[in-house]
A and B are shown apart, each in its own frame.
Chain A
Amino acid sequence: MSARASGASPMSTEWPLYEVFVRGKRGLNHVHVGSLHAADDEMAVRHARDVYTRRNEGVSIWVVKAADITASSPDEKDPLFAPAGDKVYRHPTFYTIPDDVPHM
């Protein structure tokens, strides 16, 4: 996929792959909603509008080339994330959250 996305393959005639993030009307932050192909960044925003905001989902769109995303490897899951699993004192669970705080 990364070869195709970067256009490095001589066989590649496909547009690069973009990942799409949409912020909902009353949502908190941009959320990954899917991916699509587009020739350039501007076209990717418009394609994202057409493909992912048809049902009134969004008020803001981010797109980024999939090839530009660096992701953690599933093989590193344990060394990266397991150490946080037993540190309950890092969670703010010892406070009472007021009722009028909507998103916590």
Chain B
Amino acid sequence: MSHSAPDPGHEDGTVYDEALLGTDTSHWAFGTDFEDPLAGVDTTVPAELDAGELAAYCLALGDDALVMSHRLSEWCSNAPDLEDDIALTNIALDLLGQARLLLARAAAADPTVVPALPEGSPAPVEDALAFFREAAEFRNVRLVELPNGDFAHTIARLLLFVTVRLAAFERLVTPADPWGSDPVLAAIAAKGVKELTYHRDYAGRWFLTLAQGTEESRRRLLAGLASVWPLHDELRAAYDVGPEVDVVLDQVFAVSAVERPELAPMTGRGHTEAFSRMLAEMQVVARAHPEGLW
């Protein structure tokens, strides 16, 4: 008969007791040792940058993260298994953190982008931008606002989004990118690169697993990829990325034995109808209680 591994919480098997670890909780750093990504960063907008354009760029980057984060958060309690439920919501939280910093930066660069709040509302500027703008004022790409499909659809969308976003963030931390001369944006990107690298790893591994898994998983993955691919051009244009993205995507496609889709880009611009419904749900509580303090 075999037995399960020793339970660390059990009195006979605990290794958390004070005799071994002492009472110094810094061993585990619960709630301590967090880093402020903007610590020591000069928040003045550099003279060579146009504040309005910088704000617009930060809004675009922030809105993409916010909307993708919300779509991913819709998986909470609905993912195929507990571990991926947590993984997807972790990614959503990373992106929400990026959105918060980027929207705050947009507001700092150009305060006129922040919508007027109902009188007495204590909402900070990033909340005002997230919850009190109308759909037409959001600058996110359509790829991130599409309603969720199945898990394979989410993986295909996530792979495209984070591959492109990571390429742009990697450029933002170098002098080659004009926006990188904003020290705040560069610091946000430096933090984001580490997060997005993990997101890409997660999406890439699942892409391969689904592609080479069962007939059904492959069918679903190809269907998901086909449904998001027409918005791939819009995404690339928004981030102004080039062949460095193809190197990554082609590698994932090659190991997965998936053909790069040849589908015409979706025409038009602006937002989809589904985006308005998503915003209505995302914003309803903040708008119903504008004086609420969260």
A contacts, CB < 8 Å to B: 1-2, 15, 19, 24-28, 31-33, 35-39, 42-43, 46-47, 49-51, 54-57, 66-67, 69-74, 77, 102-103
Instruction: Please report the total number of B residues contacting A with Cβ < 8 Å.
Output: 34
Cβ of B30 and Cβ of A71 under 8 Å apart?
A: no
Q: Which residues of B contact A32 (CB under 8 A)?
A: 5-6, 8, 15
* Interchain CA distance A19-B231 in the complex, whole Å: 41
Chain B residues with CB under 8 Å of chain A are 1-6, 8, 12, 15-16, 20-22, 26-34, 81-84, 86-87, 90, 198, 201-202, 205, 209
Closest to B213 in A: A39
Question: Do B83 and A72 touch across chains, with their CB atoms under 8 A apart?
Answer: no
A65 to chain B, nearest CB (A): 10
Indicate the member of A33, A42, A43 with the most B CB atoms within 10 Å: A43
**A70 vs chain B, min Cβ distance (A):** 7
**Min CB gap A61→B, angstroms:** 13
Asked if A57 and B83 make an inter-chain contact with CB atoms under 8 angstroms apart, the answer reads no
Known pairs A57-B28, A102-B22; list 7 more (Cβ under 8 Å).
A24-B28, A25-B26, A27-B27, A42-B205, A50-B86, A71-B5, A73-B1
| Those 8 A-B pairs whose CB atoms lie nearest each other, nearest first | A71-B3, A47-B83, A50-B87, A19-B5, A2-B2, A32-B8, A69-B5, A27-B27
**With known contacts A46-B205, A71-B5, A51–B28 Cβ distance under 8 A:** no
B4 A71 Cβ-Cβ under 8 A? yes
Q: With CB as the reference atom, state the residue of chain A lying closest to B89.
A: A50
